[in-house]
Amino acid sequence: MSPRIAVVVGASGGLGRALVSELLTEPGWGLVVGVGRRKPSDWPDDPRTPFLTADLLDEVALSKLAGEIAALGTPGLVIIATGLLHAEGLKPEKAMRAVSAASMTRLFEVNAILPTLVAKHLAPLLPKDEPSVLAALSARVGSIGDNRLGGWHAYRASKAALNMMFRCQAIELARERPLAVCVTLHPGTVATPLSAPFARSSSTVLEPVESARRLLKVLHRLEPADSGGFFAYDASRVSW
C-alpha cells in the first residue's frame, strides 16, 4: 500500500509554508509534499517534505506533476494555497471606473483558472474508497451574498468564480469518490505579503501559523455532506 500523503500547492507562500509546518505535526502523514513554481532557497532539508516544481498554469506540467505525486503516495489531503490580490501595476479597485481587462484577466488566471486546473489534475489521485479532502483558499470577499461594501471588483469576482468551479468539482467528485470532501476556505486576514497593505483595516489579523492551525481543524471536522461548501477559519459556513 502506498503511503498516505498531504500535498500543499503554493507551499512557498506564507500561509502555504505554515500549512506544511502544521501538517508535519499531525500523525498519519507519510509525507507532506510542497508544490510551487520554484523551490524556496530556505526550504527544509527534510525527507518528509519533498518539494516539487511546476508551472501551475501549464497542463503538460500539471500532468507531469500528478505523476510525480502519485509516485510518492496516495494524497489524503490536497490544499491549494495560491492567490493574488495585488502586484506591480495591479491593486484592488475602489470604484468600477478603475476596472481593466488586464487586471481582471490576471486575477482570474491566478485565482480561478490556476486552482481549477490543479484540481483537475490532482483530484483523480484521491483514493476512491477512503476519506480525503480537496480544498482551495478563497476569500470572504468572494461571497456575493456577503458583499455589502463593493470595491475590489476583479478580486471579488475571481474568488467567486473559484467558488463556483469548486462547487462543480465537488459534484463530480462525489460520483466516483463518495467519501471525499471538496471545499473552499476563507483563511481570515493573515499577516502575509498578500494582505499586508490592507491588514490595518481589519479588526483581526491572524499569524500564518494560527490561520493554518484553524483551517486544518475545520478540514478535519468536515464530512462528505459538507462537500461543495465554503467555510471560514472559525468553522462558520460562508454564504455564496
DSSP bridge pairs for 87: 90
Any domain includes 79: yes
pLDDT score at 202:
54
pLDDT in tens, 109-146: 999 999 999 999 999 999 999 999 999 999 999 999 98
Any domain includes 123: yes
pLDDT score at 1:
55
Any domain includes 207: yes
CATH number at residue 43: 3.40.50.720
Read off the pLDDT band of 203 (50, 70, 90).
Answer: low
Tally of structural domains, the chain: 1
pLDDT score at 195:
59
Amino acid letter, 160: A
- Whether 215 has a pLDDT exceeding 80, the answer reads yes
Any domain includes 240: no
pLDDT score at 149:
87
Any domain includes 238: no
pLDDT score at 38:
95
DSSP bridge pairs for 232: 186
pLDDT score at 148:
83
Question: What Å distances lie between residue 169 and 40, 115, 124, CA to CA?
Answer: 30, 11, 11
Please state, rounded to an integer, the average pLDDT across all residues of the chain.
94
Cβ–Cβ under 8 Å, residues 6 and 69: no
Number of residues that make up the chain:
240
Cβ–Cβ under 8 Å, residues 12 and 40: yes
Any domain includes 36: yes
Nearest Cα to Cα of residue 144 among 126, 131, 162: 162
pLDDT score at 185:
98
Any domain includes 237: no
Whole-angstrom Cα distance, residue 30 to residue 3? Answer: 6
Asked whether the whole model's pTM tops 0.85, one would answer yes
pLDDT score at 190:
92
pLDDT score at 197:
61
Mean pLDDT across 224-233? 98
Read off the pLDDT band of 194 (50, 70, 90).
Answer: low
Nearest Cα to Cα of residue 71 among 44, 50, 45: 50
- Whether 196 has a pLDDT exceeding 70, the answer reads no
pLDDT score at 88:
84
Read off the pLDDT band of 96 (50, 70, 90).
Answer: very high
Any domain includes 239: no
> The domain containing residue 164 runs over which residues?
4-232
Read off the pLDDT band of 204 (50, 70, 90).
Answer: confident
Mean pLDDT across 145-157? 91
pLDDT score at 147:
84
Whole-angstrom Cα distance, residue 118 to residue 55? Answer: 10
Can you read off the three cell numbers belonging to residue 205? 489579523
